[in-house]
Chain A
Amino acid sequence: MPDFSRPDHLPHLRPDGEPPHSSWLPRHRHGTTPQMIGRYPDYDVLVEVDSWDDATRKVVLARLEPPGPLRFFSEQEEPTLRAFCDTVMAQDSEPRVPVAEFVDDKLAAGRLDGYQFADMPDDRDTWRLVLAGLDESARDGHGKAGFADAEPETREEIIEAFSHGQLSGGSWDRLNVSRAWSVVMRAVLTGFYSHPWAWNEIGFGGPAYPRGFMRLGPVSTLEPFETPGASQEDPVRAVAEGEY
């Protein structure tokens, strides 16, 4: 049975450098996680909403509202944006954290991060150039109509090159490609990991005011509302076979 005290599932320690297929993980049972996979099947951070202060509750719960239509990106850009956000976060099915909408809202509102590399355009222009570049790479390198039309493997191949700053030509030549990767990923990761579904997936305790945390270790680091990680092990069989 998978034993979380062992690190065998971590990409660094696997011969192919790839994580195992997500079927080794339990299906989420309580609340929602992205794609309903996670390590804490009975953990739902939202059960604790009553223990959060008003200001925090408002900000976090707003993320669960159905997202409106895109405001910053055009209809032409939308499929590429979605395909990019899905690929880099490995969101291949519902339920999805609405990352594309988060990015769109941030850029539409001009909520930028306070710095711009001297050899790069404004973040908003960077995003547009990246989406155009992804389409060009899918077209020129792989004969597809656009990035969104490419198979998952092709998209991953393009993203892998992007992550190493190894794309060039057309729109890419107007960017420092490695920096563009850090600019777009900063926004994508913030969108994904600010969402309570992602907190359920990773077992994060979430907002903690005014309640705070008491269990800092060493005997246990679990608050009364947190649950330990689990595998998709069948408990009945495990008991029958004497593993417990």
Chain B
Amino acid sequence: MGDLLRGILKGAVGPKDNDSRYLLDVHSRDLPGEDTMARYADNDEVDLVVVGAGAGGSVLAQRLARHGWKVVILEAGPFWHPDEDWVSDEAGSHELYWTQKRIIGGSDPISMGSNNSGRGVGGSMVHYAGYCPRFHPSDFHTHSLDGVGADWPITYDDLRPHYERVERELPVAGQDWPWGHPHRYPFSPHPISEMGATLWRGARELGIEMRVGPVGIVNGTFGNRPHCIYRGYCLQGCKVNAKASPYVTHLPDALAHAVEIRANCMVSRVELDDATGHAIGVVYHDEVGGAERLQRARFVAVAGYSIETPRLLLESTSRRFPGGLGNNDDQVGRYVMVQGAAQTAGRFPDELRQYKAPPPEISSEQFYETDRSRGFARGFSIQTVGPLPITWSEHVLADGHWGRALREYMRDYNHWATIGVLNELLPHADNRVTLAEETDPYGLPVARFDFNVGENDQRNMDYSTKVITDILKAAGAQDVLTVHRYAHLVGGARMGSSRDSSVVDPHQRVWGVPNVFVSDGSVCPTQGSANPALTIMALASRLAERMASGAAMQQPEVTRQPVG
């Protein structure tokens, strides 16, 4: 069917080379193709084995399958059947999260679970909020520009075509974007709620520009993906298929192109042939207590998220890499970043009912770039959020209330509007993932993540909390409650132009191992103050293009001297 005909039949013209939106069923939420997908034996040497069916792993698999590669994705979590497995309920969504134990330490331990990562086909985007901003061009060279962070070995222009392509696939809806590299979105902005409008009025008072979106939520017709029904449960998994996640945007097309997703399979190491230095595949368990299995593959891509990817590399020891794959320079697991994510809520005379509409509504990147007069390098973004009751109660508790006072604030829920920030916290070598002594049910050491906030970080967070509090006051808030928190992990296997200061080369290939790539957020050397999912997908899309052409298997051309 030509695009024109499709356009007439189904609405807007969508992306090429990805039929996911047509493959979905209008009446059922299951991922089509589970019963008919290709199956490979452990001993078939497939072209690519991917660890993790999340943002980075799914895009890579879908792209290479389109080039005729035989691909197996091993996913630790379940193969979701959303009609039965997902609920329109906060506490009932517990199974979506990576709830296997992780140890958190350092001066500012980062809470995981619901707040940080997912486990299952689709990965964390199954329960991510849905904001899909791009990084700014400056994010790729913060060290040369601002003397902080690190320079990437690639630039914004390397990713730009992939940003555009992924934005058409999700598809992203929003107003024309004035910040960073100005651009438009394929879908028009969603209507906003009374809460969003109230916060916007406050921002306008202070001269702060806000824009609607950008969100990976269908606004209009997009194949068989329905329009959003404004029910506000994006962080519990979208039962409607309106919100983008690999489960609806890339995996249907992947399954239609001979990808196998093997769910409930926990990968325990990348298996290296010490004689050749090539990986021969990955070792995994298909049940707790089960025997080890080895999936053979020509290429391995690790895409397990910023905690699990370093953990897996550290667990993959061999004679060549006694301290873990790619870790001979002690770089694996370092420079893990989170964004500061304080939220402030304001009380208003009217009932705003902040649980309605998707939590991501309007945002601003006016404070994204360095302005030395603020007293710190780099910046932050501002975004609205709409906490449901349990999350709201944690917000109230964090402000110091319990018992009768907490119940009083909770009864006032419908009068509150919440706005948050994302601070670019800088990468530090000591913010790192290591292996703990404790083991998981598979007998594998669990990850330990230590995190310490730096001085620049603290100044950034203090400043931004004041800005959002001022927005609430300018909007007429009668009372304010604040919670300090963190979100969005990236880093831990960063890319760079020199092996002694990074884990992967500019092609995202592990230094010193010709056929192992990392295809998730852990390759990011810095994080900007944009939410990471779109960038993770764009990076995977670029990597796939270069793996398909063979460019990624060549020695990297060093475009930049290592810095930072």
Of B62-70, B216-224, B275-283, B408-416, the one contacting chain A is B408-416
Contact partners of A55 in chain B: CB under 8 A: 83-87
* Contact bitstring B375-403, A, C-beta under 8 A = 1, else 0: 00000000000001110111001001111
Q: Report the minimum CB–CB distance from A5 to chain B (whole Å).
A: 4
Contact partners of A59 in chain B: CB under 8 A: 87, 89, 92
Contact partners of A5 in chain B: CB under 8 A: 349-350
Q: How far is the CA of A158 from the CA of B161 in the complex (A)?
A: 60
- Give 30 A-B contacts (CB < 8 Å), ordered by A residue: A4-B351, A7-B415, A7-B479, A9-B408, A10-B478, A19-B405, A56-B87, A89-B406, A113-B112, A114-B97, A114-B114, A115-B102, A115-B103, A116-B104, A117-B103, A193-B389, A201-B410, A203-B413, A204-B355, A205-B356, A207-B88, A209-B88, A209-B231, A213-B232, A216-B192, A216-B194, A218-B197, A221-B193, A221-B351, A221-B353
Q: How far is the CA of A224 from the CA of B414 in the complex (A)?
A: 16
Q: Report the minimum CB–CB distance from A123 to chain B (whole Å).
A: 10
Residues 170-197 (chain A) with a chain B CB within 8 angstroms = 185-186, 189-190, 192-194
In the complex where A10-B408, A55-B85, A198-B389 touch, is A213 in contact with B357 (Cβ < 8 A)? yes
| In contact, B397 and A189 (Cβ under 8 angstroms) | yes
| In contact, A115 and B112 (Cβ under 8 angstroms) | yes
Contact of A202 with B by CB under 8 A: yes
What residues make up the interface of A, taking CB atoms closer than 8 Å to B? Answer: 4-7, 9-13, 17-20, 22, 25, 38-39, 52-56, 59-60, 87-90, 111-119, 156, 159, 163, 185-186, 189-190, 192-194, 198-199, 201-205, 207-218, 221-222, 226, 228-229
| In contact, B410 and A202 (Cβ under 8 angstroms) | yes
Q: How far is the CA of A208 from the CA of B87 in the complex (A)?
A: 10
For chain B, the bracket of interface size reads: 35 or more
Chain A residue, CB-CB nearest to B117: A114
Residue in B103, B105, B349, B401 whose beta carbon sits within 8 Å of that of A11 in the complex: B401
Q: How far is the CA of A12 from the CA of B480 in the complex (A)?
A: 9
What residues make up the interface of B, taking CB atoms closer than 8 Å to A? Answer: 83-92, 94, 97-106, 109, 111-114, 116, 191-195, 197, 229-233, 239-240, 347, 349-353, 355-357, 388-390, 392-394, 397, 400-415, 448, 450, 478-479, 481
Q: Report the minimum CB–CB distance from B450 to chain A (whole Å).
A: 8
| In contact, A118 and B404 (Cβ under 8 angstroms) | no
In the complex where A55-B86, A114-B99, A190-B91 touch, is A202 in contact with B408 (Cβ < 8 A)? no
Contact partners of A114 in chain B: CB under 8 A: 97-102, 112-114, 116
User: Which secondary structure characterizes the binding site on chain A?
Assistant: loop
Q: Report the minimum CB–CB distance from A96 to chain B (whole Å).
A: 13
Q: Report the minimum CB–CB distance from A201 to chain B (whole Å).
A: 6
Residue in B105, B397, B414 whose beta carbon sits within 8 Å of that of A118 in the complex: B105
Q: Report the minimum CB–CB distance from A163 to chain B (whole Å).
A: 6
Chain B residue, CB-CB nearest to A215: B356
Besides A53-B87, A194-B91, A229-B351, 19 more A-B contacts (Cβ < 8 Å) are A6-B349, A10-B347, A10-B409, A10-B479, A12-B481, A13-B478, A18-B404, A19-B404, A53-B88, A56-B92, A60-B87, A112-B101, A113-B113, A116-B103, A199-B389, A203-B413, A204-B389, A213-B356, A218-B194
| In contact, B409 and A56 (Cβ under 8 angstroms) | no
Q: How far is the CA of A32 from the CA of B347 in the complex (A)?
A: 26
Q: How far is the CA of A20 from the CA of B230 in the complex (A)?
A: 35
Q: How far is the CA of A211 from the CA of B409 in the complex (A)?
A: 28
| In contact, B407 and A90 (Cβ under 8 angstroms) | yes
Q: Report the minimum CB–CB distance from B46 to chain A (whole Å).
A: 31
Contact partners of A210 in chain B: CB under 8 A: 229, 239-240
| In contact, B411 and A202 (Cβ under 8 angstroms) | yes
Residue in A4, A11, A221 whose beta carbon sits within 8 Å of that of B408 in the complex: A11
Contact partners of A54 in chain B: CB under 8 A: 84
Q: Report the minimum CB–CB distance from A6 to chain B (whole Å).
A: 7
Residue in A88, A111, A115, A215 whose beta carbon sits within 8 Å of that of B111 in the complex: A115
| In contact, B347 and A7 (Cβ under 8 angstroms) | yes
Q: Report the minimum CB–CB distance from A232 to chain B (whole Å).
A: 13
Q: How far is the CA of A36 from the CA of B197 in the complex (A)?
A: 34
| In contact, B414 and A203 (Cβ under 8 angstroms) | yes
Contact partners of A17 in chain B: CB under 8 A: 405
Q: Report the minimum CB–CB distance from B15 to chain A (whole Å).
A: 27
Q: How far is the CA of A205 from the CA of B90 in the complex (A)?
A: 13
Residue in A9, A111, A194, A212 whose beta carbon sits within 8 Å of that of B229 in the complex: A212
| In contact, A38 and B411 (Cβ under 8 angstroms) | yes
Q: How far is the CA of A210 from the CA of B350 in the complex (A)?
A: 27
Residue in A89, A190, A208 whose beta carbon sits within 8 Å of that of B231 in the complex: A208
Residue in A12, A117, A216 whose beta carbon sits within 8 Å of that of B230 in the complex: A216
Contact partners of B351 in chain A: CB under 8 A: 4, 203, 221-222, 228-229
| In contact, B112 and A204 (Cβ under 8 angstroms) | no
Q: How far is the CA of A163 from the CA of B398 in the complex (A)?
A: 10
Contact partners of A204 in chain B: CB under 8 A: 355, 388-389, 413-414
Q: How far is the CA of A182 from the CA of B64 in the complex (A)?
A: 45
Chain B residue, CB-CB nearest to A194: B91
Q: How far is the CA of A217 from the CA of B355 in the complex (A)?
A: 12
| In contact, A56 and B89 (Cβ under 8 angstroms) | yes
